[in-house]
Amino acid sequence: MSIAFLFPGQGSQVPGMLHELPDHPVIHQTIAEAGEILGMDVLRLDTEEKLQSTVSVQLCLLVAEVAAARVLLEEGVKPEMAAGHSVGAFAAAVIAGAMDFPSALTTVKRRAELMEAAYPEGYGMGVVTGLKQDKVLKLTGDAFSEDQPVFPANLNAEDQVTLAGDMRCIEYVLERAKQEGARKAFLLPVSVPSHCELLHEVSQELAGELYKIPFKNPSIPCLSNSTARALRRGEDIRHDLAVSIARSVKWHEATLLMKEMGATLFLEMPPGRVLTDLAGAALPSVRSLSLSESGIKSAVLLGKRYRNG
């Protein structure tokens, strides 16, 4: 039996997410370490007001996810693989031992700053659910223009695709998706057109930052955002962290690959249960658990049961 750790991305954040983490020495140590590296009180970043900032959101996600995963490791629950959605890939890289936590903190902060500065207004993201991927991709391709670009950003499920680009074009595609029978089609509270070629320059700048950092071969494979392949070399993880910000996230494919690699239990780090729901829909036979909902104690008990066969 194999365990996969899942690390969510932007969109899963909730106010108070750091304060809702359990009272555990490893949690406190991780938060203190983050504060020392960043030179700030990170517990001030998870207010509703602060979470309007991409920088605050991505830092809070990284800290919460690494802290929770470290508790599981401390309690003897060790994964055979790790996968992070978007910025969650940095937490996965840390837990797999490919990069250190201080480097991840400073890089994620810079990543978020670059993203915020790239498109200050007029761009964003939307999501379509209940319509097949190929149909959404066709609608997106038909609507694209150089003046009002739109791209498929996250291929989360067979019937869930997020879009990134010009807000006017996204709104048009969402309306067309509804006409075609989509269950839901709405704008996301995200001001950055992530995971599309509009962030190519950001990707190049991020690569420059990442190539200043030493990477090691991971102790467990990390699933690539941009290719949905298992990465087993530090250099490959570094490259994926750089380029994936300007490429579609192939999350559905990665989820299926983890099952092929032997995953029988998915444990999603806080906050939220987005990845748990996606895994449950794609692979009903595989057990999925959200730490935010079930708690770390339940995750430890379940993880040990799977670990002991």
Q: How far apart are CA 295 and CA 309, in angstroms?
A: 21
Spatial contact of 78 and 3, defined as CB atoms under 8 Å apart = yes
C-alpha 122/C-alpha 127 separation (Å) is 17
- Token representation of residue 75: 């309690």
DSSP, res 231: E
Active site residue: 85, 195, 239, 252, which one?
195
- Provide the residue type at 247 as one letter: R
Distance CA 42, CA 56 (A): 9
d(C-alpha 36, C-alpha 166), whole Å: 38
Assess whether 195 carries a catalytic annotation. Answer: yes
* Unique residue bearing structure tokens 């190929």: 134
Residue 24 annotated as catalytic:
no
Given the residues 56, 86, 244, 290, the one annotated as active site: 86
27: amino acid identity, one letter: I
**Using CA atoms, how far apart are residues 62 and 92, in angstroms rounded to an integer?**
9
Catalytic positions, written as ranges: 86, 195
